[in-house]
Amino acid sequence: MNDDSRLNEWFVPKFGPLKFRLFCGMLFLPYTGMCISFVIWGNLVAGALEFDKLGIIVLIYFLSLGIGAHVADNIGSRRIKPWGDLLSNKQSWIIIFVCLSTSYGVGLYYALLYAPLLIFIGIIEGFFLFAYNFELFNGLFHKNYWFAFSWGMLPFLAGFVIQTSTITDISIILSLIPFMVSYIEIKISRVYKYNRRSNSNSKATCQYEKMLKALSIGIISMTFILLFTLTILQ
């Protein structure tokens, strides 16, 4: 590996074979969980909840952003490959292709059947997946607010759209909540990663790590509680 300190990240499992641990780390599961939570929020505020649609949109985002985008980030980083040589470029592109073709295939089916607006959200998400992770256009879209838009706001709207086949004023207003949460997360994360790389002020680094843990675990836990509560009430 080019950066074996990644093995010490708090979200990397402490058990299992090395490649398993690295692959789990590459998926940034707590932050993927946050993105999927925003998808679920969009479903929950839509009103009547159809669980098959909820499951499909969660699957779509897990494959495309949870796996595809993170693998793309590993080979698209301008600094180094964050997770070393766990995957070759060929293997990475195969995973990206399989994940995106599956998610877009399923998404297109549901879009044509229930919610055509998903097509537009899918096109925008696909653009940011490559523009952000490969730092295209001289890194123009590799910014915190674009991260918050593509990983916070759009997932929420996608969850709302698959249930309602529309975007309303209230859904746009509510989507600003995951936008802000994602913006806070990436701001903290960038400072945290900078401190880890420079080994500066380890006490501050520990504090930033605690913030990231509290934020991600808190969002995921709250989502489970909301989903469980609504399931009982419905």
- Residue 140 buriedness (CB in 10 A; 0-12 / 13-18 / 19+): exposed
CA–CA distance, 116 with 227 (Å, rounded to integer): 25
User: Domains, the chain, ranges and CATH?
Assistant: 29-233 (1.10.600)
- For helices 154-164 and 117-133, the axis angle rounded to 10 degrees is 160
Q: What is the pLDDT of residue 78?
A: 62
Question: Which pair of tokens denotes residue 90?
Answer: 């060929």
Q: Which of 51-60, 77-86, 137-146, 165-174 has the lowest mean pLDDT?
A: 77-86
Residue 69 DSSP one-character state: I
For residue range 74-101, list pLDDT tens digits in order.
Answer: 888 766 666 767 888 899 999 999 999 9
For residue range 171-185, list pLDDT tens digits in order.
Answer: 999 999 999 999 999
Let me know: does 39 contact 155? Beta carbons within 8 Å.
yes
Question: Which pair of tokens denotes residue 139?
Answer: 């890194």
Find, among 175, 181, 179, the residue nearest to 211 by Cα: 181
Where residue 60 falls among pLDDT bands split at 50, 70, 90? very high
- For the cut 50, the answer to whether the pLDDT of residue 4 exceeds it is no
13-18's contacts with Cβ under 8 Å and 24+ in sequence apart are none
Where residue 3 falls among pLDDT bands split at 50, 70, 90? very low
For residue range 185-214, list pLDDT tens digits in order.
Answer: 999 999 998 888 776 667 888 899 999 999
